[in-house]
């Protein structure tokens, strides 16, 4: 993007590029509203123009979805740091130091910089996803759950209403792994996550607390007693047999319930109570491991046929 955009070859040693040139920020705003490009190049006529970019109304949208590279005539260290902290992947000069009458327009070098920026953006997105998501199930992980719980507790301080944190501790994944292998155990965990999500409201939050435990936040209850009732329903649903590799797999489920504000107002206190309660309770469905053949291969939601 920019009135002085450099000439870029569609083919280079760093891959094939399809460019859409915009002469103004308004044109760029309309373009990224329609599609999310892998990279956006801002070719600025002045350093002041580059400095103003983070104040552009679509800057956040641009840096969240694309690898943003900014070119400015003579960016100093402070300008580069500000742009990088605002989300840009790289800041490049268009004028060599001490040569204000020369403009750098090396297409191959610029293609290399864009290629590297795209790769850095991909790694950044993967790290962010790994930080907040349990990759095996696609559910929010424990860190993300606690952040959300902090927000919900603050909301409930302003808008009082019962809320519950449930912990469901699962036994049987190791048994499945011993019988059917690691891939089967991982598939069972994914099926548990899918079935658990299907039994809850869209407003409720499901997370992967640990390899053998799930957390559920019931964001609003009609009555405190609903927490135990929902926990029992979820445990019953998860105890229904799954079909894994054409064989029946069952799990044991123990539950723990912590109510807000009855049992505490701080997320850490609620989680500690719910985890302790789940660990202290005897899991329901334990007989399924010994009596698997008696139970038979009962079909259930989200199972393979």
Position 21 confidence tier, pLDDT thresholds 50, 70, 90: confident
Tokens 């139970």 identify what position? 295
For residue 253, give the nearest of 227, 278, 216, 289 by alpha carbon. 278
C-alpha to C-alpha distance for 276 and 64, rounded to whole angstroms? 39
Is the model's pTM score more than 0.85?
no
Residues 124 and 147 in one domain: no
- Asked if residue 281 and residue 185 are part of one domain, the reply reads yes
Q: Write phi, then psi, for 120 (nearest 5 degrees).
A: -60, -40
Closest CA to 168 of 226, 228, 219: 228
Domain that holds residue 127: 11-131
Q: Over pLDDT 70: what percentage of the chain?
A: 81
76: enclosing H helix or E strand: none
Question: What three-state secondary structure class fits 249?
Answer: strand
Q: Are residues 153 and 248 in the same domain?
A: yes
Domain count, the chain: 2
The CA distance from 273 to 257, in Å, is 8
Considering 105, 131, 157, which residue would you say is the last residue of a domain?
Answer: 131
pLDDT single digits (tens) 147-196: 899 989 988 888 898 999 999 999 999 999 999 999 999 999 999 999 99
Q: List phi, psi (to 5°) of 282.
A: -75, 135
300, part of any domain: no
* Pairing mode of beta strands 67-72, 90-93: parallel
Supply the DSSP string of 105-148, one letter for each residue: --HHHHHHHHHHHHHHHHHHHHHHHHHHEETTTTEEBHHHHHHH
* Pair 151, 55 in one domain: no
Q: Could you give the 3-state DSSP secondary structure of residue 139? A: strand
Taking residue 20's Cβ as centre, other Cβ atoms within 10 Å add up to 13
């Amino acid at each position: 993007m920019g009135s002085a955009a450099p000439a870029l070859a569609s083919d280079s040693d760093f891959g094939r590029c399809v460019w859409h040139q915009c002469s103004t920020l308004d044109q760029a705003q309309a373009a990224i509203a329609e599609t999310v490009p892998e990279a956006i190049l801002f070719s600025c006529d002045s350093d002041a123009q580059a400095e103003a970019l983070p104040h552009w109304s679509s800057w956040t949208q641009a840096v969240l979805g694309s690898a943003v590279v900014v070119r400015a005539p003579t960016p100093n260290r402070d300008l580069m740091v500000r742009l990088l902290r605002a989300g840009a992947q790289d800041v490049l000069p268009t004028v060599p130091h001490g040569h204000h009458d020369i403009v750098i327009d090396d297409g191959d070098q610029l293609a290399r910089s864009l290629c590297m920026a795209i790769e850095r953006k991909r790694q950044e997105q993967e790290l962010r996803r790994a930080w907040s998501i349990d990759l095996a199930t696609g559910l929010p992980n424990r860190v993300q759950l606690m952040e959300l719980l902090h927000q919900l507790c603050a909301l409930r301080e302003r808008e009082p209403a019962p809320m519950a944190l449930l912990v469901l501790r699962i036994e049987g994944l190791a048994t499945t792994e011993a019988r059917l292998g690691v891939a089967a155990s991982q598939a069972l965990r994914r099926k548990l996550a899918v079935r658990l999500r299907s039994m809850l409201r869209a407003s409720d939050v499901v997370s992967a607390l640990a390899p053998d435990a799930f957390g559920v936040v019931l964001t609003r209850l009609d009555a405190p007693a609903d927490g135990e009732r929902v926990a029992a329903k979820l445990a019953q649903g998860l105890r229904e047999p799954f079909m894994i590799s054409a064989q029946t797999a069952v799990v044991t489920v123990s539950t723990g319930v912590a109510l807000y504000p009855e049992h505490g107002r701080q997320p850490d206190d609620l989680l500690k109570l719910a985890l302790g309660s789940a660990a202290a309770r005897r899991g329901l469905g334990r007989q399924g491991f010994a009596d698997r053949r008696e139970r038979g291969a009962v079909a259930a939601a989200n199972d393979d046929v």
